[in-house]
């Protein structure tokens, strides 16, 4: 009777419970990030839009515009709102009262109108909250839903129903009262930084190194980036320079230091290497997934063949060497070995993977694929030239038909002019004989 497995220690159970609780907490926080798409009617434009691009109902640039049979443009939502009282009566244009009989009278606007609307430059809907983004209107939705740090979302706390910004979401709940440590004013945590930057009475302080007056919030950035008395190292440290002194002396030193001149190039190279590594990481994962999939397919097709060194002996390209009763050959690639496999006992070198018949088939398949692609491109080019030739020939035939129709019409007019005169002459010639007969 097998012995029972070991009972996990309480620490393991606690760690498993803590990890599952952490995962549930992350899922709960992610589920509360609900963003509302921006409304185009509430956007602020940098310049006054053209009056031809403004809806006559909402008096803002069109949002999903449509065109009526009377050539008037409206926002689709505005038009539906205007027609809401006319559900049981005949619908009319809100401007000229032209009747709109069917839905076929509502047509999409030309593409150039949509392009002009998309190219209007707008501000971010969260500009009052601090966002300085300005770009074309077509990009405002992606900016608000994906990139804007000031987009309002629900607070991450379960028992809090107040909104917060995207950049403060992972800081926890900020909707509680705190006291400013400088002026002892009571305010909410989310407003503390803005208070200390703009309205705090004791927001100004002096730098301990250079005695410059700066904001308390900007004291550390001032020391790290601007203070001339702060001791820093030369930019050539990345290359090997050992010089370090006050900022003013370092700036004078960097003007003559050759390593400081080379440092920006090394930083750029390092940044390029990091970008390439970041690009290679998903590609490496994708290659691993594809290799695992290929392995699973190979094991599914050849479950009974456990010998990986067995390869087909027959030539798949030779029709006379094919046995209809023979089993399906194993087309798995031989395992690659580095360094190359040494010669066998009979004196012949083992067949490497790049000399196998399978590799020949794969090479032939690639060449055929390239040839088919080239033929497809040639057929596409030939089809385009043929269509152009047919259009030119049909246009020339139409012109010739017009000339022929004009000539026939001219001959018809001459015949209609000559025929009455001919009959009138025949009538005058036959009239005396008729009187003599009587």
Q: What are the angstrom distances between the C-alpha of 294 and each of 163, 291, 302, 310, 362?
A: 49, 5, 12, 18, 15
* Dihedral pair phi/psi, residue 186, rounded to 5°: -85, 130
| 3-state secondary structure at position 99 | strand
Place of tokens 């190359």: 340
Global confidence as pTM: 0.41
Token pair belonging to 216: 């308390």
pLDDT value of position 121: 92
Q: Which CATH number, 3.40.640.10, 3.90.25.10, 3.30.40.10, 3.40.1350.10, labels domain 40-168?
A: 3.30.40.10
Is beta strand 186-188 parallel, antiparallel or unpaired with respect to 204-206? unpaired
User: Which is nearest to 317 in space by CA: 279, 348, 358?
Assistant: 358
- Low-confidence residues of the chain: pLDDT under 50: 1-19, 21-22, 28, 306, 308-317, 319, 321-322, 324, 326, 328-355, 434-438
Q: What is the pLDDT of residue 344?
A: 47
Annotation: CATH topology of 176-229: Herpes Virus-1 (3.30.40)
Residue-level pLDDT at 416: 82
Three-state DSSP state, 234: coil
Spans of all domains in the chain: 40-168, 176-229, 231-303
Distance CA 177, CA 146 (A): 30
40-168 and 176-229 agree in CATH topology: yes
For residue 164, give the nearest of 28, 29, 26 by alpha carbon: 29
Q: Tell me if 253 sits within 8 A of 232, measured CB to CB.
A: no
């Amino acid at each position: 009777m097998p012995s029972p497995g070991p009972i996990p220690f309480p620490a393991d159970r606690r760690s498993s419970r803590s990890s599952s609780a952490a995962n549930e907490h992350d899922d709960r926080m992610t589920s509360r990030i609900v963003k509302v798409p921006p409304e185009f009617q509430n956007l602020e434009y940098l310049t006054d839009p053209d009056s031809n691009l403004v809806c006559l109902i909402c008096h803002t640039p069109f949002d999903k515009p449509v065109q009526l049979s009377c050539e008037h443009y409206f926002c689709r939502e505005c038009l539906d709102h205007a027609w809401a009282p006319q559900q049981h009566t005949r619908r009319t244009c809100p401007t000229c009262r032209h009747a709109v009989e069917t839905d076929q009278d509502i047509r999409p606007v030309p593409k150039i109108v949509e392009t002009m609307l998309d190219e209007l430059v707008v501000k971010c809907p969260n500009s009052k909250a601090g966002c300085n983004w300005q770009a074309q209107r077509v990009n405002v939705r992606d900016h608000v839903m994906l990139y804007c740090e000031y987009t309002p979302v629900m607070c991450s706390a379960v028992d809090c129903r107040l909104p917060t910004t995207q950049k403060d979401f992972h800081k926890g709940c900020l909707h509680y009262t705190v006291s400013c440590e400088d002026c002892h004013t009571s305010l909410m945590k989310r407003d503390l930084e803005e208070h200390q930057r703009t309205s705090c009475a004791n927001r100004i302080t002096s730098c301990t190194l250079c005695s410059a007056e700066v904001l308390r919030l900007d004291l550390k950035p001032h020391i790290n980036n601007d203070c001339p008395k702060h001791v820093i190292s030369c930019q050539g440290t990345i290359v090997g320079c050992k010089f370090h002194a006050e900022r003013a002396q370092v700036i004078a030193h960097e003007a003559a230091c050759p390593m400081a001149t080379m440092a920006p190039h090394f930083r750029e190279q390092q940044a390029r290497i990091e970008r390439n590594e970041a690009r290679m990481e998903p590609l490496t994962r994708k290659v691993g997934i594809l290799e695992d999939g290929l392995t699973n397919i190979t094991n599914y097709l050849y479950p009974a063949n456990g010998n990986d060194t067995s390869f087909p002996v027959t030539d798949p390209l030779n029709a006379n060497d094919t046995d209809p009763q023979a089993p399906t050959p194993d087309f798995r690639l031989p395992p690659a070995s580095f360094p190359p496999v040494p010669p066998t006992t009979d004196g012949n070198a083992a067949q490497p993977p790049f000399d196998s018949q399978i590799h020949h088939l794969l090479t032939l398949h690639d060449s055929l694929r390239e040839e088919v692609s080239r033929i497809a491109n040639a057929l596409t080019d030939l089809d385009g030239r043929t269509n152009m030739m047919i259009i030119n020939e049909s246009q020339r035939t139409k012109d010739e038909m017009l000339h022929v129709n004009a000539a026939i019409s001219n001959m018809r007019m001459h015949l209609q002019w000559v025929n009455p005169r001919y009959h009138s002459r025949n009538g005058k010639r036959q009239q005396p004989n008729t009187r003599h007969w009587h």
